[in-house]
Structure 1
Amino acid sequence: MPFETITIIRLCGVAGIFGALTMGLGDLLYNHIPGSKQTLYEKMSAFPQKRLVTAGILGLIGSWLYFFSVFHVYYAFLSVGKLFALAMALSFALVAIAYGVGHASYFAIGVAAKIAHDNQLDVTSVGKSGEALFSKIVLITYVPVAVFSLPTMYGVISGRSAYPIWMFIFLPIVPYLLRPIILKTLRGRVHELVRDSYDNFVLLLYFFVSTLVLWNI
């Protein structure tokens, strides 16, 4: 494979890793307080505005990095077929965009909760509109997630992709389905961090292993 192509695969894999770290940090800034038993609204209502703004900006940067990682996904499945690889890349691109929009809706929830807190209003009821938007985004995003998840599983298990067959364990759909089991095995601060940014933890795992596997393809 040409050096230029290998370089793109490597750089875009690294982009996926940093996208997961950046977006994950943004999630934690939105909803994580060590050891807290408060609801999401209660936690966000007490955050300073700077923290919410920083979380929103990290979401934008993270979604950009995820978008660049689309090329890594494309090359990983190119050996299955160009149309197959293009479909997988486009579906993941849609997921990356949805992550960014969903992250922005969390900012709306945080601002609403903070305004309610500052004006001694019911924090939970004020944040319902932002939560409704986020829930709808999640439902819509299930479509490209399904388009990405099932065919990629086929591509890996069939042995036609650039991945070894054991890589199916690290495809995002597997740790998503194993979420309860994985969280039960974790304890303390690690459990809290992974729980509060699980989606990005899953993609971090995928891109980290994928980048290592395809580094010298």
Structure 2
Amino acid sequence: MNPVFDWSFALEILPTLGAALVVTVQATVLGMLVAVTLGLALALLRRARLAIVSLPAAFFIEFVRSTPLLVQMYFLFYVLPLTGVRMSPLATGVLALGVHYAAYCAEVYRAGIESVPRGQLEAATALNLSRWDTAARIVLPQAIPPVVPALGNYLVAMFKDTPLLSAITVVELLQQSKMIGSATFRYTEPLTLVGALFLVLSLIAAWGVRRLEARLQRYGGKR
């Protein structure tokens, strides 16, 4: 009679799952870099004074937030190549994750920017600072630290959304466990290990975000 959980089998498949975990972490890190960068750009564009700039940015943000991530992945993977733009499955997945979460990060940034006291903007204008200097030296250093926890939540959420990459043929952690299960007819060990790995990595990411938040507050994040 086979045990419910075979530790020797679990240790045997752990290196294979570890290789897939590298793909999962890579997609998460690169996707988050795209999200925080593009999200900040979208937030600034949405606050632009010219309607020709702010309205398209607002429409893009709402459109992305209102459509499922899986649909966006399918569109980028199957439709985008018809226009001549071809990317690897992993690059497509990173782009889809980054663009999807950029829309949410943009709203987080916007809330942080709008929380900066208006008097400081007026003081920057009185000092004849340019809009770029005002944003880079006055607004963003105060707006970003308070929203770091929210951005960290999106990092963890993105990490847990990486199994969707299997829909566009990326062999990430969960897909690899399913492949092991279908080949060995043992699903308990691979799925248990996947759950444990997701839990551990999510806790580590949350801890890292808390440390970053504390460091930002220590070096000027407080108003």
TM-score by length of 1: 0.32
